């Protein structure tokens, strides 16, 4: 608790500003960090991910059912801290994404998420915070049936004809392994690079930012993905990733 309190004070002591370098850092499986949410926010990440199971009437944060801990729930780990950060104006008006990966049944879990978010008007009515549903989701055609404060992670490159449906999509996400087996060392092969670029361009043609998951998590990979045009850089090391990419950006501007 002392460590968390110190971190909150440290963040609030400075004018918080996320990078404006054309990329955003996504803290993948953020709940595995030693201080979920706050550590990513302090690093300058602008997106965090929480895997969620609906157990009874509780939204519990875990990657698998065997890892479920009744003390780790969505409200305590993410909704309360996010509301607190808005109250303290730590985000400084910068976009921030809470990506909730549903691991249990889609419809009942999403209903529970909506009910929980409604308990936090500052999140629900925020112009900068996006609550984005990933993992198990309703059918794409049903996205428009959900409240304005709920968005979705579109995991396809198929075109969407309905403009109202497109508005409910926050980003496009795909597995990197579907396009390349690159391990983050050396360089992508020319063939794999073409596949990756094609996927990114198709996502951008939908007018949406793009994220790969299951990417190599190294400096070489972060640099390559930014260069290729990936908007959300997926990482388990948000602090190191933000520092490295900001340093590269600063060097490039000299």
- Phi first, then psi: give them for residue 80, nearest 5 degrees: -60, -50
pLDDT confidence of residue 74 = 98
What range defines the domain where residue 131 resides?
22-248
Domain assignment present for residue 7? The answer is no
Q: What is the pLDDT of residue 12?
A: 46
Task: Establish if 121 belongs to a structural domain.
Answer: yes
Tokens of 15: 């004018």
Instruction: Check pLDDT > 60 for residue 227.
Output: yes
pLDDT band at 92 (very low <50, low <70, confident <90, very high): confident
In a domain, 8, yes or no: no
Closest of 4, 15, 9, 20 to residue 91, by C-alpha: 15
d(CA 106, CA 102): 7
Mean pLDDT of 232-245: 97
Q: Is position 11 within any domain?
A: no
Find the CATH number of the domain harbouring 113: 3.20.20.190
Q: Is residue 62 part of a domain?
A: yes
Residue 243 lies in a domain: yes
The answer, yes or no, to whether residue 135 has pLDDT greater than 50, is yes
pLDDT of 7 > 90? The answer is: no
Minimal CA–CA distance to 37: which of 4, 70, 71, 1?
Answer: 4
Calpha distance 201→205 (Å, rounded): 6
Q: How many domains does the chain have?
A: 1
Mean pLDDT of 208-233: 97
d(CA 233, CA 222): 7
Q: What pLDDT score does 1 carry?
A: 58
Question: What's residue 11's pLDDT?
Answer: 56
- Whether the pLDDT of residue 5 is over 60: the answer is no
Tokens representing 102 are: 């549903």
The secondary structure element, H or E, covering residue 171 is: strand 169-175
pLDDT at position 14 is 43
3 occurs within a structural domain: no
Per the CB < 8 A criterion, the answer to whether 78 and 98 are in contact is yes
Rounded CA separation 226/244 (Å): 12
Q: What is the 3-state secondary structure (H, E, C) of 14-33?
A: CCCCCCCCCCEEEECCHHHC
Rounded CA separation 157/154 (Å):
8
Lowest-confidence region among 17-21, 99-103, 210-214 = 17-21
Report angle CA 71, 75, 81 to the nearest 5 degrees: 110
Terminal C-alpha separation, the chain: 41
Do you know the residue count of the chain? Answer: 254
In a domain, 136, yes or no: yes
Q: What is the mean pLDDT of residues 226-241?
A: 97
Res 131: pLDDT: 98
- Predicted local confidence at residue 22, as pLDDT: 75
pTM of the predicted structure, to 2 decimals? 0.92
Mean pLDDT of the chain: 92
- Residue 183, CB-side half-sphere exposure with 13 Å CA sphere: 1
**H/E run at residue 12:** helix 2-12
User: What confidence tens digit (pLDDT) does each residue in 171-219 have?
Assistant: 999 999 999 999 999 999 999 999 999 999 999 999 999 999 999 999 9
List, in order, residues 6 or more apart from 224 with CB less than 8 Å away.
Answer: 187, 188
Residue in 57, 82, 53 with CA at minimum distance from that of residue 66: 53
Q: Is the pLDDT of residue 111 over 50?
A: yes
């Amino acid at each position: 608790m002392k460590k968390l309190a110190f971190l909150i004070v440290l963040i609030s002591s400075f004018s918080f500003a996320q990078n404006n370098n054309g990329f955003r850092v996504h803290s993948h499986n953020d709940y595995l960090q030693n201080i979920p949410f706050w550590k990513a926010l302090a690093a300058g990440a602008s997106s965090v991910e929480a895997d969620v199971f609906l157990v009874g009437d509780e939204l519990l944060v875990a990657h698998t059912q065997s890892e479920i801990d009744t003390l780790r729930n969505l409200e305590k780990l993410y909704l309360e801290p996010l509301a607190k950060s808005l109250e303290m104006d730590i985000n400084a008006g910068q976009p921030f994404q809470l990506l909730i990966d549903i691991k249990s049944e889609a419809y009942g879990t999403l209903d529970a998420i909506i009910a929980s978010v409604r308990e936090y008007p500052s999140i629900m009515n925020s112009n900068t915070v996006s609550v984005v549903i990933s993992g198990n989701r309703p059918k794409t055609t049903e996205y428009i049936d959900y409240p304005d404060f709920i968005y979705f992670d579109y995991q396809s490159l198929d075109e969407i004809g309905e403009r109202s449906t497109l508005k409910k999509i926050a980003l496009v996400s795909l597995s990197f392994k579907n396009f390349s087996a690159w391990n983050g060392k050396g360089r992508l092969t020319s063939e794999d690079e073409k596949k990756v670029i094609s996927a990114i361009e198709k996502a951008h043609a939908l007018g949406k930012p793009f994220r790969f998951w299951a990417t190599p998590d190294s400096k070489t990979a972060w640099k390559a993905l930014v260069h290729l045009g990936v908007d959300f850089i997926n990482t388990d090391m948000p602090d190191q990733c933000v520092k490295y990419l900001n340093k590269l950006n600063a060097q490039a501007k000299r």
